[in-house]
Amino acid sequence: MFRNSAKYYDAIYSWKDYAGESTRLLEIIQAKKKSGGKDLLDVACGTGSHFPYLREHYKIEGMDLDDQMLEVARQKFPSVKLHCADMTNFDLGRQFDVVTCLFSAIGYVKTIERLNRAISRMAAHMKPAGLLIVEPWLAPEQYRAGQVHALYEDRPNLKIVRMNTSEVRGDLSILEFHYLVGTPSGVEYFTETHEIGLFTEEQYRNAFEAAGMDVEFDPAGLMGRGLWIATRP
């Protein structure tokens, strides 16, 4: 998915308030978690930009399907244990007090069947009385097709322009990203197509309940996309 952009990911998302999001996340964990341990698994962790704030309070492990993103995370956080695995079928052989899946990464499962499998596998990695927190992608009624978006990053030795259109194909949102990246060694152009599932609130809720969890939805969440907060009864 991020085959060309992984090395620029942190620059592209430098606008994101990882510190503020982590503070809110820790507040939720403190209020909702009933297990007594400090083990946290961040599913679809990307380059690990929440790690610096979460590991002050928890023993962090990360997991992602994209090894190029993990390689950036390894360079940044060599002491954090990282796993390359698919969220729909992973088995790490252990359980955690908290499992998170943030920044709408759950949408990359694309289908309801794979959504159910991913939630089930995350639930299987929760300790008794543990906590699962999932940040969804936009719901079908929230997503706006036919839009064009642009992002710019301007640094002394790095200039990035990322533009994309948005469309819908069936139950998928399609983001066609076009990148123009300038460095002292030259200017590079490449594209990436991201297909992200559009799931309803009912479909998310059904997935958590099918995995045997009690779930609530926080409509504000960390950045306005909402947050699913699940525990085992």
Based on the fold, state whether residues 27 and 125 are members of the same structural domain.
yes
Q: What is the CATH number of the domain that holds 23?
A: 3.40.50.150
* CATH number of the domain where residue 192 is located: 2.20.130.10
Give the total number of structural domains in the chain: 2
Q: φ, ψ for residue 78 (rounded to 5)?
A: -65, -20
Quick one: pLDDT at residue 232? Answer: 82
Q: Whole-angstrom Cα distance, residue 220 to residue 87?
A: 25
Within 10 angstroms of residue 204's Cβ, the number of other Cβ atoms is 23
Q: Minimal CA–CA distance to 167: which of 190, 188, 198? A: 198
Apex 25 CA angle, 12 and 212, nearest 5: 110
**Residues 33 and 86 placed together within one structural domain of the fold:** yes
Predicted local distance difference test score (pLDDT) of residue 3: 86
Burial of 4 (0-12, 13-18, 19+ CB in 10 A): middle
- Identify residue 3 by its one-letter amino acid code: R
DSSP secondary structure string for all residues of 172-228:
EEEEEEEEEEEETTEEEEEEEEEEEE---HHHHHHHHHHTT-EEEEESSBTTSSBEE
- The dihedrals phi and psi of 36, each to the nearest 5 degrees, come to -95, -5
Contact 58, 36 (CB under 8 A): no
Whether residues 166 and 76 fall in one domain: no
Residues 53 and 125 in one domain: yes
Q: What is the DSSP letter of 40?
A: E
Residues 99 and 22 in one domain: yes
pLDDT of the chain, 233 residues: tens digit per residue: 898 999 999 999 999 999 999 999 999 999 999 999 999 999 999 999 999 999 999 999 999 999 999 999 999 999 999 999 999 999 999 999 999 999 999 999 999 999 999 999 999 999 999 999 999 999 999 999 999 999 999 999 999 999 999 999 999 999 999 999 999 999 999 999 999 999 999 999 999 999 999 999 999 999 999 999 999 87
* Residue 210, amino acid: A
